[in-house]
Amino acid sequence: MTVFVAPELLAVQPEPIRFFNRYTGAMETEEVYGEPFMRWTYGTRMGTLALHGLAKRALFSQWYGWRMNRAISSRRVAPFIQKYGLNASEFLEHPEVFKSFNEFFYRKLKPHARPVDPDPIAVVFPADGRHLGFADASKVEGIFVKGQAFDLKTLIQDEKLTAQFEKGSIVMSRLCPVDYHRFHFPVAGTPGKPQLINGPLFSVSPIALRQNIRFLFENRRARTVIETKEHGRVLMFEIGATNVGSIEFTFVPDQPVQKGAEKGYFKFGGSSMITLFEPGRITLSDDLLQHTRSHVELYARIGDRMAVWK
């Protein structure tokens, strides 16, 4: 297959996406799925026209989701596993069982593949991915580009909740297409019904966020309030993005859940989650804070510790 690369991209060596892997203890370079198209879309004049005319719109993602639901798309599964080195022994079902690429994409894992930290004071990551953590949500700026600030009010779309979480802790979790795409509860508690906040569907890859961080807090998203017995409220967002067919929830609102219980899944496409805690409730993990201060994402998996209750 021939991949078109715009001439203006050939003249500039693209900046790689680097992250720190908690398990290998080393800096690693992300292999971006569909990178030539991503860099053309978010790095060229023609790409920008295509982005605003088509790619950010729900219809485009719905069309792509339809393609990934077709039986013929199952041919992509084995090459994808091989190319990105996925551990198929973790899958609940054998790769040959999946009837489409989307079925493979939101696959389940064996229970032991993602053990949940049993310590009662532990708060766990809600998804496999690359994470950034800030002790004060009102001071999030320069994450991907110097001078760009994070707008919590726009993200939350509720004045009372914004005031409640404004100076609390925030964790941003970015999922790539190669990741396990089910997401889970970071704490035990009682979650309410997810509230849909409409918006566009820009990519949330660093390639796009280096152009405009507003994509992260203006995209279509779902907001869930979790009531905990001893630690107040926790706020969770699932954020849609280009080629995310939809966000599906598998929990029952207003029913208690255990820490690490499944909350739902993303259909095809990389996406993000944001978790917010009230001020003074948690202490984020040292490695998460350390790498965030250096503007480096930390790779960690669902169920592993991201904070402790105070």
Catalytic residue, from 169, 179, 181, 184: name it.
184
| Annotation marks residue 181 as catalytic | no
Which positions ≥6 away from 53 have C-beta within 8 Å? Answer: none
**Three-class secondary structure of residue 131 per DSSP:** strand
- The Cα 109–Cα 181 span in angstroms is 10
User: Which among 80, 79, 74, 104 has a CA at the least distance from the CA of 91?
Assistant: 104
Catalytic residue, from 61, 74, 100, 128: name it.
128
DSSP 213: T
Burial of 8 (0-12, 13-18, 19+ CB in 10 A): middle
Beta bridge partners of 110: none
- The Cα 239–Cα 44 span in angstroms is 25
| Annotation marks residue 169 as catalytic | no
> Phi, psi at residue 95, to the nearest 5°?
-55, -30
Which positions ≥6 away from 138 have C-beta within 8 Å? Answer: 152, 166, 167
| Annotation marks residue 119 as catalytic | no
Sheet holding 122-124, edge to edge: 122-124, 305-309, 282-284
- The Cα 259–Cα 185 span in angstroms is 6
Catalytic residue, from 74, 100, 205, 271: name it.
271
Catalytic residues: 128, 184, 271
